[in-house]
Structure 1
Amino acid sequence: MYNTPEEYISAADRELDRDDWKAAWQIANEGLKHYPEHSELQKYAYILAPAKITTVDRGGHPEIQADHEWIKQNIHEYRGRWVALKNGKLMVNS
């Protein structure tokens, strides 16, 4: 489509001027296919890329899981009421 890396960058800039970030990213990526070593195209593609979400499993919090299980099992009996839970057990006033 474009003949030089600079033409890809100019096209991406035009899309950015129109606030079309996705189109600008697609143009930069297309340019990288033809000019993979071009540092400015690499920058455009990296900066305009959609966000990546990563998670780390830290084993969770068993006490919170226990509270969620209690709620699932008792939701009908306690619906609309305030409850206090600790480690999956209902705290009661004594």
Structure 2
Amino acid sequence: MGYQVGFQCFDTLQEAQDYKYSSVAPVINQNNQLVQPEKLNGQWHLNGSQIVDSFPACSPLQQFQDGVEIGWGFIALTVGILCVAIMRRGL
């Protein structure tokens, strides 16, 4: 079981959190203070509070199998179109 962030599946919660929070752009709030998540002692914090979140479960193997299934669908469609094109030329 993995953790899904967007369309990516990560093996560990730490990898998922690192990916998500390291890509967050810092902002300046109305008090002219810089607000950004930061990693302290292996945990992500925002404004001094630890971030507690959850990610949907995913399976890298299942994602691979889904991709193979879609790929075979495209191959079958391409072969079908090619067969129709060849048959039309013969007539």
TM exceeds 0.5?
Answer: no
Normalization by structure 2: what TM-score?
Answer: 0.25
Task: Say which one has the larger Rg.
Answer: 1
Larger RCO (CA under 8 A, 6+ residues apart) = 2
Normalization by structure 1: what TM-score?
Answer: 0.24
